[in-house]
Amino acid sequence: MHLNYLVFLLPLLVTAIPHSTLDESKNTDTDANDVLTTTSTFSSTISTLKDLDLTSCSLNTTTLNISYNLTALSIPTTNVTLKHVALGRGTQNYTCPSPQNTTAKPTAVGALATLFDASCIASVDEDLLHHLPAIVQGIPLETLDFLATLISLAGAGEGILGEHYFTKSGQPFFDLGFGGDEGDGNWAAMKKVGSAAAPRSVDVPWLKLVAVDGAGIKEVYRVYTAGGASPATCEGHEGEFEVEYAAEYWFYG
């Protein structure tokens, strides 16, 4: 198994286990159930990770399962192949009127996320991969930023694939140069061509995007999302604010 995946995943999964405090003593039964459920998920995930053979990361036989809401997200076009799979963690960004208008709806203004290379996991256990966004979404961003820095010190191709953000003109942009593929020109400005509501209302929709400019990337799927959806109204919000999220990103070129 590649060490970088253990370095990245194990500390993150540990921090995802809820810890009770004295102030939460009135909800002892609920907290205990949450701890038991999350700990069980953590233990089974760790066990699965330890048993994986990640020495070969070929995606030649890996296929994205998008049977959920398939009619809204068309399958990849026939002339592209799967190049990368990433686990994204960051924020969906919104804005509300100032002064505050409690009946207004938040406006989406972009996103910012670190893309961790998950190609090896996708190639050997896609079901495991689909469980990771919900786990990683509960991890404090400060912890994630620290671990991302540590991983980046190992050099190109050691866990961080790239980053996702929006340009000044409002286009979703993907830069996969962190993975050591600068020579392949793996970057793209995208546009949305398909959207499917996620199974939970608190999760941002699943998307299909196609490139309008770039090199190496032609299509991107954002699926198995966790968090990131905006509140229904601007009550309690004024100006720009962030909602944390995680998701799988599948890159075709």
pLDDT attached to residue 138? 85
Classify 212 as helix, strand or coil. strand
C-alpha–C-alpha distance, residues 91 and 72, integer Å: 24
Q: At residue 35, does pLDDT exceed 70?
A: no
Q: At residue 11, does pLDDT exceed 60?
A: no
Q: At residue 250, does pLDDT exceed 90?
A: yes
Q: Higher pLDDT residue, 27 or 173?
A: 173
Range of the domain at 248: 82-252
pLDDT attached to residue 165? 97
State how many domains the chain has.
1
Mean pLDDT of the chain: 79
**Hunting for tokens 């032609």 — which residue is that?**
218
pLDDT attached to residue 65? 82
Percent of the chain with pLDDT over 90: 51
Q: Higher pLDDT residue, 189 or 45?
A: 189
Q: Quick check: is 107 in a domain?
A: yes
Confidence of residue 26 (pLDDT cuts 50, 70, 90): very low
By residue count, the chain amounts to 253
Q: Quick check: is 180 in a domain?
A: yes
Q: At residue 185, does pLDDT exceed 90?
A: no
Q: Quick check: is 231 in a domain?
A: yes
Q: Quick check: is 34 in a domain?
A: no
C-alpha–C-alpha distance, residues 43 and 36, integer Å: 10
Q: At residue 191, does pLDDT exceed 50?
A: yes
Q: At residue 109, does pLDDT exceed 80?
A: yes
Confidence of residue 106 (pLDDT cuts 50, 70, 90): very high
Measure CA of the first residue to CA of the last residue in the chain; give whole Å: 27
Tokens of 8: 């990245």
Q: What is the pLDDT of residues 234-243, one digit of tens each?
A: 999 999 999 9
Q: At residue 1, does pLDDT exceed 50?
A: no
Residue 68, CA distances (Å) to 134, 167, 207, 223 in order: 17, 30, 12, 10
